[in-house]
Structure 1
């Protein structure tokens, strides 16, 4: 390959990487903003109703996108049964847990607590033996830092006040993080399907799960008309933070890979804290700030790739291509 061709290829690679990193930042901003939007919506829209509307809006948009791209939804019963589990783990259960949690805790705190899925993934790998050979001391230290950060963020009085709403809300958000850790593990079985089809199918199943649940538990037709701000937040959650985010997410899985995409979790937490402070005027205690710093440090330690070993060419040997 000529020098000019190599230079052109390097420029193309750099440009593509810049685009993907830009999309990762955009995805982190979108998902970080979801905590602020949830806080705005859940003030007047009950959590089950809000999640049902959110996933239904997203499901309809994703089906339209898949159809426009010429894809058909799967027909096999076993595939749809697996998609129901995916929809539960990926959307229905974690969205509900976060929405309920944000009725009692700040959106920034929820965003940081929800930055812990990589640590749950690592814990699952340790317990099941899957990928245990790739676990080094740095990742174990990262998990320890993250757990210490969670404990510090929740506060020393969390155990004594376990019956109150705030500690339970924090545990709910951590439960959502566990769901987000399990979802990609379960989702590996859909590798034969186009990503947009998996997203549309899983979101449709989430809608099927949440619509009757909201109808039975909250009877949304009897609720008072929510204000325009809450309705706008709900629409943004469905269109931007769910449907659009899923399209970007599955693209990044193909281009940056799961590890690179997961690294956006701590960026998302930073955006959640910044937006909660700027828009909602939220204040955090120093112990919460210190705990958040430990969580972010732990997530970085767990997700950052190991440095590739340097290959030295013996003196007098031809360079490797």
Structure 2
């Protein structure tokens, strides 16, 4: 079963982050976006620090690698990504934002080549990226008028995609000595501090604009504990095992679970365009991972003989 561990974690993370969309919608109805993101990571950081202290693991950063990992991850993958994304979604639809975030797997390989020239990026991977991005476009079915009329929103969401890619590549290039849970706790804390500072600087994003309703608190609990603490632990575990290029493919699988979650929880229908998009995403993964898939099929065939 060990060989199925990584694919299983990948799908679990996609499900967690995909189902976070309804929770985010519920929270944004009562909380300003930047403050919402900040408090979400307050919750995540507290839970992770409690876990680290309960397990008697080393929790204090000591060397340059520890500080570099925490600073890059907290500033870019946590704070900048979520600040730009939530700000951008005030100007563009969720469909357009989903398409633009699909650029993460396109941006990541280019950044990885700059930071780590030895990182492999084959023609097969390029085809997989292109097919996956096409699938995201088909699923989101964006209105071109939104791209023309909402330049500010587009730029902000593109900045969110770039920030996340920088965080993934930068943390992958570091080799911290701290245990994974401790590095994630510090990253959440750094991200929360930066986001709180941003909430004070952005008009209408302070505590005075928040309404702490039961729906808002439930959204914070889910996003902080499950999508935040557990989700990012899973993500950075996968980042360490797969590298930034393959890990970035999570952006193509999340819309699948978001659509399924909307169908199961909210009664939203899965359209023909969504099915076509899922097919493109699947084709992209097959193209990118064909050698591994072929080897696994040969192994299964030999095992059944």
Shorter-chain TM-score bucket reads: 0.7 to 0.9
Give the corresponding residue for 1:314.
none
Deviation by residue 1:235-293 (Cα, 9 ceiling, x = unmatched): 21111101011233344456x5336655544322211222245545668998x749955
Which secondary structure state, in structure 2, belongs to the residue aligned with residue 225 of structure 1? coil
Match of 2:51 among 65, 74, 93: 65
Give the corresponding residue for 2:217.
231
Shift of 1:186: 0.8
Give the corresponding residue for 2:70.
83
For structure 1, which segment, 204-213 or 154-163, has the greater mean C-alpha deviation from structure 2 after superposition? Answer: 154-163
Shift of 1:181: 1.9
Give the corresponding residue for 1:194.
179
Closer, same or farther: CA 79–129 of 1 in aligned 2, 3 Å = closer
Give the corresponding residue for 2:195.
210
Matches within 5 A, 1:89-238: 89-103=76-90, 107=94, 110-111=97-98, 113-125=100-112, 130-131=117-118, 134-145=120-131, 153-163=141-151, 168-187=152-171, 188-217=173-202, 218=204, 220-223=206-209, 225-238=211-224
Closer, same or farther: CA 272–98 of 1 in aligned 2, 3 Å = farther
**Which 5+ residue runs of structure 1 have no aligned equivalent?**
1-13, 311-321
Shift of 1:58: 0.8
Which secondary structure state, in structure 2, belongs to the residue aligned with residue 242 of structure 1? helix
How far apart, in 2, do the equivalents of 1:104 and 1:212 lie?
22
Shift of 1:86: 1.9
How far apart, in 2, do the equivalents of 1:281 and 1:190 lie?
45
Shift of 1:124: 2.6
Please tell me the root mean square deviation across aligned C-alpha atoms, in Å: 3.7
How far apart, in 2, do the equivalents of 1:293 and 1:190 lie?
35
Alignment TM-score, normalising by the size of structure 2: 0.76
Alignment TM-score, normalising by the size of structure 1: 0.73
Preserved contact between residue 90 and residue 180 of structure 1 (Cα < 8 Å): yes
For structure 1, which segment, 267-276 or 202-211, has the greater mean C-alpha deviation from structure 2 after superposition? Answer: 267-276
Shift of 1:74: 1.0
Deviation by residue 1:203-226 (Cα, 9 ceiling, x = unmatched): 111122112222343363322524
Task: Return the index of the structure with the highest Cα Rg.
Answer: 1
Closer, same or farther: CA 61–128 of 1 in aligned 2, 3 Å = closer
